[in-house]
Amino acid sequence: MFVGITDEIKRRRTFAIISHPDAGKTTLTEKLLLFGGAIHVAGAVKNNKIRKTATSDFLEIEKQRGISVTTSVMSFDYKGNKINILDTPGHKDFAEDTYRTLTAVDSVILVVDSAKGVEEQTRRLMEVCRMRSTPVMIFINKMDRKGKEPFELLEELEKELNIAVTPFTWPAGRGSNFKGVYNIFKNNIQLYTPEKSNLSELLMETGDISDPVLKDYVGQEILSRVREETDLATGLYESFQKNLYLEGYLAPVFFGSALNNTGVLEVLETFIEIAPSPTRSESHERIVKPDEPDFTGYIFKIHANIDPRHRNRMAFMRVCSGVFERNKIYYHVRLNRKMRFSSSAAFIANTKNTIDEAFPGDVIGVYDTGSLKIGDTLTEGEVLHFKGVPNFAPELLREVINRDPSKRKQLEKGVRQLTDEGLAQLFLQQPGNRKIIGTVGELQFDVIKFRLEHEYGASCDLKPLPFVRALWFTCDEPVELNEFLSRKAGFIAYDKENAPVFFAESEWMIKIIRDTYPSVSFHKTSESFRITENMNGKHTPLQNVQ
């Protein structure tokens, strides 16, 4: 074991920032980077006054639309701690990328819009966090705008997200009268200038809310209201217990305005104090502890053309145990062969720095020529399959129609690489080797067409197909399987791993198939399909796919 690996593990914090679209997630990410010293100029999303786009939104389509469509990975050091931030897409059409990202983090910061409160995607993301017992901190954003009252928001959080909350800070004023935040635990107020510079100057930090100087700046009415409300809040809500937070039952809540840098520092400082260091990882074979001497890690994200000038492909890996070393030979479990990585990098979005080693909790990028896929495991020889990195059953299916035959190779390469990223599923159907793309949302098709044209110079039409779902399936009765494959040949395709998939025209059709072929089992994720295959020790006979 490397000397100091335990210390390296303890100083790491790896977390995702999640939210419903437009809650201010990417803006908060920018300001955390800014306060952490990782960047010197903050970008802005949907702000024409600032020409620089957000650091974490580096794809051209993200810059044009002002939304995040892919997870960005950012690392920096702050007060002796190594911080790994994963900024995730908020839009529901890209939830699959977010769900996979949540398997690679140890905690989460959930951003909520003070005017809109808990929204649809907020609930969905919180459900994933609860399934994994992920510790959650909540940042209620946009307090400088007209919105719901703090008590109303706290009650909504508890009711809608099914989690106890503890307010750590409290807003001093609301909307146009918003002056800053009062730290309940440190008994002080921090006040900032609103958006006058990239990193607003700290105007005042008092040791007591009764400081007479505050009266002149904040006003007696706001101060009295803060005092009354915080006294009431501390009596109404759970006192903070770190063990309940770490087990996912209790969420510390912070108020602020990410755009105006208000309340962000409190989030960062508290996060460093209470958020967990890298924890154990669960594989199908055993539990992997971070302080084990042998390296293990898994791929949870792949990105093609992260540097458009070089057309390179980067695989993002979570280090689970041991120490990753550049140029060392590791075992690729799925391919059953050894691999060496001469280029490994840490990121601030698409700006990378070469690193020679990485420790548990780190998220690093390794250059890939096409050998790595989402869910792949790398070890020093042990066969492990880490849990929770699935592909989900698509509900929207479209056939790829090439609009320019002279660009056939570019189109095929683009479709392959973009679907390798997990942005969508690629299925091949015979006869004719038809390429069918499956997604969980309409917006993914727009992104695919945009990137095919701008990154690969290929144009295509995506023809809608009359199916409501694509499901992986297994069957342990060869006779019944052969009959099913024969009679339903027009509804059968194969994914890139040559695994069979059934295209269903309706939920009623799925029920009929289950009644007619009781030995056929459908799977909503590729992970559950492959687990079944491995457990049975049997494999569905597959056709050869070009």
Domains detected in the chain: 5-274 (3.40.50.300), 281-379 (2.40.30.10), 396-536 (3.30.70.3280)
Type of residue at 328: K
* Residue percentage of the chain with pLDDT more than 90: 46
Task: Look at residue 499 and tell me whether its pLDDT is greater than 50.
Answer: yes
Task: Look at residue 156 and tell me whether its pLDDT is greater than 80.
Answer: yes
Q: What is the DSSP letter of 14?
A: E
Per-residue pLDDT reduced to its tens digit, 112-122: 999 999 988 88
Q: What is the pLDDT of residue 349?
A: 45
3-state SS, residue 316: strand
3-state SS, residue 483: helix
Task: Look at residue 487 and tell me whether its pLDDT is greater than 80.
Answer: yes
DSSP E strands, 184-306: 188-192, 202-205, 250-255, 281-282, 287-288, 296-304
Q: What would the mean pLDDT of 176-194 be, rounded to a whole number?
A: 81
Q: What would the mean pLDDT of 76-82 be, rounded to a whole number?
A: 90
Q: What is the pLDDT of residue 199?
A: 47
The overall average pLDDT reported for the chain is: 82
* Helical spans, DSSP H, in 23-67: 25-35, 60-65
Q: Which residues of 476-493 are buried (b: 16+ CB within 10 A; e: fewer)?
A: eeeeebeebbeebeebbb
Of 97 and 366, the one with more pLDDT? 366
Peptide bond into 431 cis (omega under 30): yes
Q: What is the pLDDT of residue 307?
A: 59
Task: Look at residue 55 and tell me whether its pLDDT is greater than 50.
Answer: no
CB 86 within 8 A of CB 16: yes
Q: What is the pLDDT of residue 138?
A: 97
Q: What is the pLDDT of residue 214?
A: 74
3-state SS, residue 112: strand
Element (H, E) at 502: strand 500-504
Per-residue pLDDT reduced to its tens digit, 289-325: 999 999 999 998 888 766 556 557 788 899 999 999 9
DSSP percent split of the chain into helix, strand, coil, nearest 5: 30, 30, 40
CB 170 within 8 A of CB 256: no
Q: What is the DSSP letter of 440?
A: S
Q: What is the pLDDT of residue 261?
A: 84
Q: What is the pLDDT of residue 454?
A: 87
